[in-house]
Amino acid sequence: MSGRARVRARGMARSPGALAGECTQASPSVPRMLMPSDLSDSEASFSGGMEGTSRISQNCDKSVSSGDVGSTFVEKVVKVRRDYVDLGVCTRAKLAHVRDSKTGSSGIPVKLATNLFNLDLPQDWQLYQYHVTYIPDLASRRLRIALLYNHSRLSDHAKAFDGTILFLSQKLEEKVTELSTETQRGETVKMTVTLTRELPSSSPMCIQVFNIIFKKILKKLSMYQIGRNFYKPSEPVEIPQHKLSLWPGFAVSVSHFERKLLFVADVSYKVLRNETVLEFMTDLCYKIGTSCFIQTCEQQLIGLIVLTRYNNKTYRIDDIDWSVKPTCTFQRRDGSEITYVDYYKQQYNITLSDLNQPVLVSLLKSRRNDNTEPKIVHLMPELCFLTGLAGQVTSDFQLMKAVAEEIRLSPLGRQQRLARLVDDIQRNKDARFELETWGLHFGSQMSLTGRVVPSEKILMQDHVCQPMSAADWSKDIRTCKILSVQSLNKWLIVCSNRAENVIDGFLSCLRRVGSSMGFNVGYPKIIKVQENVAAFLRAIQQHVDLDVQLVMCILPSNQNYYDCIKKYLSSDCPVPSQCVLSRTLNKQGMMMSIATKIALQMSCKLGGELWAVEIPLKSLMVAGIDVCKDKFSKQMVVVGFVASLNPRITRWFSRCILQRTTTDIADCLKVFMTGALKEWYKHNHDFPARIIVYRDGVGDGQLKAVIEYEVPQLLSSVAESGSKISSRLSVIVVRKKCLPRFFTEMDRTVQNAPLGTVVDSEATRPEWYDFYLISQAAYRGTVRPTHYNVIYDDNGLKPDHMQRLTFKLCHLYYNWQGLISIPAPCQYAHKLTYLVAQSIHKEPNLELASYLYYL
Amino acid sequence: MQCDSVVDDNFEEVCPEKVIKFKPPLYKQRYQFVRDLVGRHEPKKVADLGCGDTELLRLLKIYPCIQLLVGVDIDEEKLQSNGHHLSPFLGEFVKPRDLDLTVTLYHGSVVERDSRLLGFDLITCIELIEHLDSDHLARFPEVVFGYLSPAMIVISTPNSEFNPLFPIVTLRDADHKFEWNRMEFQTWALQVANRYNYSVEFTGVGKPPAGAEHVGFCTQIGVFWRNSGGAPGPCVSQQHDQHVYKAVYTVSYPSLQQERVLKFELVSEVLLQVERLRLWHLRTLREQKRGAGTVPKEPSVAPSLMLDLFTEAEKARIENSPKPFCEGSRFFVPLQRLLAYPRLHRLPVDEERMRSLLADSVCLSSDGSAVKVDLRNTWDWEPDDY
């Protein structure tokens, strides 16, 4: 593991405040860090893993899919886009208490501008689906399409056609229409066009057709599709000092929101690294030498998305084959053998310069839903460009800062971009024509009414504090005592000889801030060791015994130390540990705030409770679930589960498991929940009356699996818990990546919607019990609301109460004295899985389960 | 395997009754013929008359020598729907071409004169003339040879002597107005060449099957060269602008001739090279520290990955340039040194230009002769750490 990655694991180096070590948060969702809202704008394009292999083209892609039921023809089943699959999952119908209304009423109404646009259709608009057959049958899809498109009978119809299924917005006179045409060679071809379905505008199929229409339109505006978004490489933002180009673009989607068809657009950037994979490999080799080159190279490259020089496709690097060289041959489609060198020369007039490079291996998943084996593609590193910011680069603070500077958009800037897009669409003749022939009318930007829920009071030991700003209450509670924490009497500091001089100053500072917050810090045993990982580990092994409450390590650098120490102390010998970089302790003038942060973290690790909010429900357990892919073995998924242990929601039970799987669906939830219930019983001598589980990390298209596979696990452990009255369960899917944005308009400018803004109408979905909540502050960028989808709900809380409770839970993340974008249990689960996936790679010791040892 | 870029079926070849199969398909052989010609003669301005679905233009746009690529067709719809295939690949925004390239599609007839097609190096008419009716065919030479008068013209057309080998004896395409035998084509071509002072060579693609060699190539091709001695047609400058074609699509490629692009490329390459030299220098220092006796070798490289393959000339150029040096904790690489490396050498910049382009993105030494960086940065990997 590289130093940079490790730095990232601890989330240092991100904060503009430049705190280091464990005193700042790792989470991208914590405000004021560099990552939040602004950077996450482009999350979809950043995270390499997201997009798999996808085709970029400016072709008019006429492929359409049939997801509806009951077609009389055996049709080619084309994959329905994953996010449309989720829209077909109607959970609200089963929830009686929200069937009529899922909107709350508390709070102060606020008028919000959005990035949603009305798409108007005539009242009786329908889409007509036809099936087309050819006599004689034609194998070439292109020929089929060309013949149909060129037929005069259909020339003035708006149409989408994939070679078999034809969509028209106007009905043909006959149910079955026979058309005759001639090929260029003069053969007569008979085309039979048969009506198979009439689809209302709300049908999923229509939605897909609408999205195809917009895809065409954006391509008319010289945009390229990469993954799901559209970019304009001709207007790049360039950061030469980091070898990066940023292509501006949009994530767009058309779908049915609560009441009508809407077009959503959000600004997105595609990051291009001006570097071929071969250059990357060469540089890496320069950097680390040959000894562990192959291993490191694979670690850093596998999973990244590359763009090839000679076509518009992107590929995911699934493997590197070091035994294949450009001089090897492969079999062409016509059966002949050709070397890669000759192939690229012949096909693309490209001369490969390095004949010793290995080949990148990419698995092409079939676009159709036939279970064919994935096709293997070999790519030349020399001809592939790296895209996205994934892996090691993300821990380059300077680089990430430069990127953030460029792509951070204020709410006003964002709205202006959208206005320009809409303007471009409406000015472009072809685009306008496309919309008009389909009968679509691009309407105004939508505004809606949200509500700002009341702010929360922060309960300290002997003080109730109403923060000035919920985004950060560190100043408000500086003089207050934390709720509870045991004294720290027996603890160790392991440091290198060189770090000795900073320790005294730091310790006295730590003791001082500790005592003002009610945390007694005794004198530690200080162990000085040589400056290498083995010496640190040996010292820890020698000196840690059963009585040691906590081990603090002052690390000379970030190489290796963190992973090894965390691995040993979280799993082999379970003792809470605190790692701090010696560099951090050298920062003059910041010692007090650094010491405060460290003291808070240490008290959490000892089982301390920092603060609370008022929880009106008397016997409520909340839990958070998140998943994270293991850093080394991509088939391993780390599933984290964190549940509250007391009605005040200040103590937590954390479990984590490594699961071998290809999906992100958890199958250990029963064990986790049963364990949490037992632990709850131990503390409270009863079972919780209500359980609310927040599930984060659900990908597109997985909603159904969560409902069918995860909810039953939770239900059965609740049912088998042995309580007389079974606890009532609710499950909420949390999503940080959602397209809608909400702004307030003030004095002719737009601003982020205030903290605590809830939107539960218009921008929500009719088939779900869902709402948006803004619980994070963005000082410079645009805030992204978090979407909550209640997929299971026995509790029957009023929507108002569900929303308020969710907001309260966003106050309880002890690593940040302020609101965060998701409920605290989710953030804890995230932090835990991240530590395991990045550093530990095995299940942490159960003895630590009731401490927040991973903060 | 990755070999799916040209899968487009040409209608002529997908015909199921087709008995004679060409390998590669005949249309590909025709395109390959033009590509070979372009590869050999490196024309700057190329036009394809009757470009249809722009297939040939798509193949030609990858040639670095071409700076202006034009397609003309009478089917506007086809141009409309195929134009975007000619837009740059995404990769061409990342690693731009050396020279500018503009691709334009015009809607119009090949028997109309448009001054925007004057002064071309190569004009191709692939399977075009057989679609012209007798009136248009008569006017065709006057426009293409007489008026446009490019340095080179390629004309291909079916060879009717080959037709008896096909099961269908009629014309090969419903829209063909005629199909000539070799004698007919060559007579016409020689006449035209004489009249407009061109010389012509005949060849073809699509070899006949064994036993039928006497019929000749399936497609016959005439390659015309404007004779240098003769009057090169009306001079471009004397022409009035005559714009009768309608531009349907046009696109400009990013290239190193554009300042913004050049700057980005230059800065990236400089930083890449400086970083490599810095790492190499650090390694040398480490080796020296470890054992005074061991002289560091060229970075011995990972299995199968060769670094910086320099020719002898390149090596000499690098050796003869000022060496990188250290002052305190700073590492300096002279601009002249950087320019000696092939990847920077190829860029159209001298030291002066380089200095001004680098100025606001890269830190230079006080006299501006070298790039300055910190010798060590915090993220350096120290193999002896552990």
Q: Per-residue pLDDT tens for A663-680?
A: 778 888 999 999 999 999
pLDDT of residue A273: 86
Residues B236 and B329 in one domain: no
Interface test with A, best of B28, B281, B282, B305 (most A CBs within 10 A): B305
In this prediction, residue B32 carries a pLDDT of 93
Which residues of chain A make contact with B309, given a CB cutoff of 8 A? 353-354
- Looking at chain B, which residue has its C-alpha nearest residue A430? B80
Lowest mean per-residue pLDDT among A83-87, A462-466, A640-644, B7-11:
B7-11
Return the pLDDT at A4. Answer: 37
Residues B140, B277 share a domain? no
In this prediction, residues A777-795 reach a mean pLDDT of: 91
Q: Which whole number is the average pLDDT over A792-796?
A: 94
Asked if A309 is an interface residue toward chain B (Cβ–Cβ < 8 A), one would say: yes
Q: Does residue B183 belong to any structural domain of this protein?
A: yes
How many domains would you assign to chain B? 2
CATH number, domain at B50? 3.40.50.150
A59/B299 touch (CB, cutoff 8 Å), yes or no: no
Task: Kindly state the tokens that stand for A125.
Answer: 């608009």
Cα B118 from chain centre:
20
- Whole-model pTM: value is 0.81
Q: Left (φ > 0), alpha (ψ -120 to 50) or beta: where does A100 sit?
A: alpha
* Residue B150 resides in a domain: yes
* pLDDT (tens digit per residue) in A719-749: 988 877 889 999 999 999 889 999 998 877 8
**Tokens encoding A626:** 């998140």
Q: Does A343 touch chain B (CB under 8 A)?
A: yes
Closest CA to A73 of A130, A140, A142: A130
Same-domain pairing of B248 and B281: no
- Per the domain annotation, does B324 fall within a domain? yes
Contacts of residues B276-282 at CB distance under 8 Å and 24 or more positions apart, as own/partner, are B276/A282, B276/A283, B276/A286, B277/B324, B277/B331, B277/B333, B278/B331, B278/B333, B278/B373, B278/B375, B279/A283, B279/A286, B279/A287, B280/A286, B281/B324, B281/B326, B281/B331, B281/B375, B282/B375, B282/B376, B282/B380
Residue A695's pLDDT is: 96
- If one counts every other C-beta atom within 10 angstroms of the C-beta of residue A531, the result is 17
Q: What is the pLDDT of residue A502?
A: 84
Q: Which of B281, B341, B379 to substitute to test the interface with A, most A CBs within 10 Å?
A: B379
A182 interfacial to chain B (CB closer than 8 Å): yes
Structural domain includes residue B180: yes
For the ranges A348-352, A707-711, A714-718, the lowest mean pLDDT is seen at: A348-352
Round to whole Å and give the CA distance between B329 and A263.
55
Q: What is the pLDDT of residues A41-83, one digit of tens each?
A: 222 222 233 333 333 433 333 333 333 333 333 333 444 566 6
Query: pLDDT digit string (tens) for B236-245?
Result: 555 567 889 9
Per-residue confidence (pLDDT) for residue A850, from 0 to 100: 92
Chain A positions in Cβ-Cβ contact with residue B383 (cut-off 8 Å):
288-289, 291
Do B232 and B311 belong to one domain? no
Choice between A310 and A852, residue whose per-residue pLDDT is larger: A852
Residues of chain B above pLDDT 70, percent: 84
Domain boundary among B209, B227, B253: B253
Cβ–Cβ < 8 Å for A567, A631: no
Partner B contacted by A356 (CB < 8 A):
yes
Check whether A574 has a pLDDT greater than 60: yes
Q: Which of B49, B380, B47, B2 is nearest to A375 (CA)?
A: B2
Q: Show the DSSP H helices in A546-631 as ranges.
A: 561-567, 582-585, 591-605
Within 211-240 of B, beta carbons closer than 8 Å to A belong to none
Q: What would the pLDDT profile of A311-370 be if each residue is shown by its tens digit?
A: 888 899 989 999 898 999 988 877 888 999 999 988 888 888 888 889 999 988 755 555
| Closest CB to B267 among A241, A285, A357 | A241
Is the pLDDT at A412 greater than 80? The verdict is yes
Q: Strand, helix or coil at A391?
A: helix
The C-alpha of B88 sits at a distance from chain A's nearest C-alpha, in angstroms, of: 9
* Exposed/middle/buried for residue A756 (C-beta within 10 Å: 0-12, 13-18, 19+): buried
* Burial (Cβ within 10 Å: 0-12, 13-18, ≥19) of residue B48: buried
Nearest-5° angle of CA B172, CA B178, CA B179? 60
Structural domain containing residue B203: 26-253
> What's the whole-number mean pLDDT along residues B305-321?
76
Asked whether residue B32 falls in the same domain as residue B140, the answer is: yes
* pLDDT exceeds cutoff 50 at B300: no
Burial class (CB in 10 A: 0-12, 13-18, 19+), B352: exposed
For residue A335, what pLDDT is reported?
80
Considering the domain architecture, whether residues B61 and B149 belong to the same structural domain is answered as: yes
Cis (ω within 30 of 0) for the bond into A754?
no
Let me know: does A31 contact A25? Beta carbons within 8 Å. no
CB atoms A142 and B174 under 8 Å: no
Q: Is the pLDDT of residue B302 over 60?
A: no
Helices (H), chain B: 11-14, 26-41, 55-60, 76-82, 90-94, 134-141, 182-195, 259-290, 312-319, 335-340, 342-345, 351-358
Alpha-carbon distance B116 to B113, whole Å? Answer: 9
Residues B136 and B279 in one domain: no
Mean pLDDT along residues A362-379: 73
Other CB atoms within 10 A of residue B301 CB: 18
Average pLDDT in the B218-246 region? 76
- Identify the pLDDT of residue A283: 82
Are B246 and B263 within one domain? no
Has residue B103 been placed in a domain?
A: yes
Tell me if residue B263 falls in helix, strand or coil.
helix
* Mean pLDDT, residues B80-97: 88
Query: How far apart are alpha carbons A846 and A675 in whole angstroms?
Result: 11
User: Is position B8 within any domain?
Assistant: no
Is B18 a domain residue? no
CA–CA separation, A635 and A637 (whole Å)? 6
Nearest CB partner across the interface for A385, out of B91, B361, B381: B91
A569 or B279, greater pLDDT: A569
A121 Cα distance to chain centroid: 33
| Contact residues on chain A for B254, CB-CB shorter than 8 A | 234
In this prediction, residues A26-39 reach a mean pLDDT of 28
Residues B204 and B325 reside in one and the same domain: no
CB B125 within 8 A of CB B110: yes
Instruction: Measure in Å the smallest separation between the Cα of A44 and chain B Cα atoms.
Output: 18
Say yes or no to pLDDT of B351 above 60.
yes
CATH code, B345: 1.10.10
Q: Are residues B211 and B265 in the same domain?
A: no
**Strand pairing of B122-126 and B45-49?**
parallel
Q: What is the percent of chain A with per-residue pLDDT over 70, rounded to a whole number? A: 88
Instruction: Kindly list the residues from chain A whose CB atom is less than 8 angstroms away from the CB atom of residue B305.
Output: 281-282, 285, 293, 354, 356-358
Whether the CB-CB separation of A777 and A469 falls below 8 Å is answered with yes
Res. A26: pLDDT tops 70: no
Q: Does B42 touch chain A (CB under 8 A)?
A: no
- Comparing CA positions, the residue from B386, B279, B374, B285 lying closest to residue A289 is B279
**pLDDT given for residue A9 in this prediction:** 34
Give me chain A's average pLDDT, please: 84
Buried b (16+ CB within 10 A) or exposed e, A781-817: bbbbbbbbbbbbbbbebebbebbbbbbbbbbbbbbbb
* Least confident stretch, A15-19, A253-257, A373-377: A15-19
Residue B168 in any domain: the answer is yes
- Chain B nearest C-alpha distance from A750 (Å): 33
- How many angstroms separate the CA atoms of A764 and A777, rounded? 22
Summary count for chain B: helices (H), strands (E) = 12, 11
Contact criterion met (CB below 8 Å) for B74 and B226 = no
- Closest residue to B272, CB basis, from A186, A279, A354: A279
Identify whether residues B263 and B221 lie together within a single domain: no
Q: Is A505 on the interface with B (CB under 8 A)?
A: no
Angle (CA) B297 B298 B302, round 5°: 110
Examine the domain organization and report whether B232 and B278 are in the same domain.
Answer: no
Helix B259-290 to helix A277-288 angle (10° resolution) is 20
Q: Which residue's entry shows tokens 């300077």?
A: A398
Domain boundary at B235, B253, B271, which?
B253
Residues contacting residue B77 through CB under 8 Å, at least 6 positions apart: none
Closest-CA residue of B relative to A354 is B306
Residue A401 has pLDDT above 70, yes or no: yes
Residues near A155 by Cβ (< 8 Å), separated by ≥ 6? none
Torsion, CA A115, CA A738, CA A704, CA A702, rounded to 10: 140
